[in-house]
Amino acid sequence: MDVKRVKDYLYWLYYQYQLVTCSYVLEPWEQSMFHTITVTVLAMVVYTAYVFVPIHVRLALQFFSQIFGAQPEGTV
Protein backbone atom coordinates (compact mmCIF):
# COMPACT_ATOMS: atom_id res chain seq x y z
CA MET A 1 0.00 0.00 0.00
CA ASP A 2 1.27 3.44 -0.87
CA VAL A 3 2.31 5.57 2.12
CA LYS A 4 1.05 8.75 0.48
CA ARG A 5 -2.41 7.25 -0.01
CA VAL A 6 -2.56 6.17 3.64
CA LYS A 7 -1.44 9.64 4.76
CA ASP A 8 -4.04 11.30 2.53
CA TYR A 9 -6.72 8.95 3.83
CA LEU A 10 -5.85 9.77 7.45
CA TYR A 11 -5.97 13.48 6.67
CA TRP A 12 -9.36 12.95 5.03
CA LEU A 13 -10.65 11.07 8.10
CA TYR A 14 -9.45 13.88 10.38
CA TYR A 15 -11.14 16.43 8.12
CA GLN A 16 -14.39 14.46 8.28
CA TYR A 17 -14.10 14.31 12.08
CA GLN A 18 -13.68 18.09 12.20
CA LEU A 19 -16.69 18.60 9.94
CA VAL A 20 -18.94 16.27 11.92
CA THR A 21 -18.00 17.73 15.30
CA CYS A 22 -17.79 21.32 13.99
CA SER A 23 -14.45 21.66 15.76
CA TYR A 24 -12.90 23.48 12.80
CA VAL A 25 -14.59 26.70 13.96
CA LEU A 26 -12.94 26.58 17.40
CA GLU A 27 -9.80 28.40 18.37
CA PRO A 28 -6.65 26.27 18.76
CA TRP A 29 -6.82 26.11 22.56
CA GLU A 30 -10.52 25.20 22.37
CA GLN A 31 -9.75 22.50 19.83
CA SER A 32 -7.13 20.96 22.11
CA MET A 33 -9.55 20.97 25.05
CA PHE A 34 -12.32 19.49 22.91
CA HIS A 35 -10.05 16.74 21.55
CA THR A 36 -8.75 15.94 25.04
CA ILE A 37 -12.26 15.57 26.43
CA THR A 38 -13.37 13.50 23.42
CA VAL A 39 -10.42 11.11 23.71
CA THR A 40 -10.92 10.81 27.47
CA VAL A 41 -14.61 9.95 27.12
CA LEU A 42 -13.88 7.47 24.34
CA ALA A 43 -11.19 5.78 26.46
CA MET A 44 -13.60 5.48 29.40
CA VAL A 45 -16.28 3.94 27.17
CA VAL A 46 -13.82 1.39 25.75
CA TYR A 47 -12.52 0.48 29.21
CA THR A 48 -16.02 0.12 30.63
CA ALA A 49 -17.07 -2.08 27.71
CA TYR A 50 -13.93 -4.20 28.14
CA VAL A 51 -14.57 -4.72 31.85
CA PHE A 52 -18.35 -5.04 32.12
CA VAL A 53 -19.68 -6.43 28.83
CA PRO A 54 -18.15 -9.93 29.26
CA ILE A 55 -19.66 -10.19 32.76
CA HIS A 56 -23.13 -9.27 31.49
CA VAL A 57 -22.86 -11.63 28.52
CA ARG A 58 -21.87 -14.51 30.82
CA LEU A 59 -24.76 -13.76 33.20
CA ALA A 60 -27.22 -13.53 30.29
CA LEU A 61 -26.03 -16.87 28.92
CA GLN A 62 -26.45 -18.50 32.34
CA PHE A 63 -29.91 -17.01 32.70
CA PHE A 64 -31.13 -18.15 29.29
CA SER A 65 -29.56 -21.59 29.62
CA GLN A 66 -31.54 -22.09 32.86
CA ILE A 67 -34.74 -20.91 31.17
CA PHE A 68 -34.38 -23.28 28.23
CA GLY A 69 -33.78 -26.33 30.42
CA ALA A 70 -30.04 -26.85 30.54
CA GLN A 71 -28.79 -28.58 33.64
CA PRO A 72 -26.83 -26.49 36.14
CA GLU A 73 -23.09 -27.11 36.09
CA GLY A 74 -23.04 -28.52 39.62
CA THR A 75 -25.41 -31.44 38.82
CA VAL A 76 -23.52 -32.82 35.83
CA angle 45-41-60, nearest 5°? 15
pLDDT of residue 45: 97
pLDDT surpasses 80 at 75: no
Query: Of 71, 49, 52, 51, nearest to 60 (Cα)?
Result: 52
pLDDT of residue 66: 87
Q: pTM higher than 0.85 for the full model?
A: no
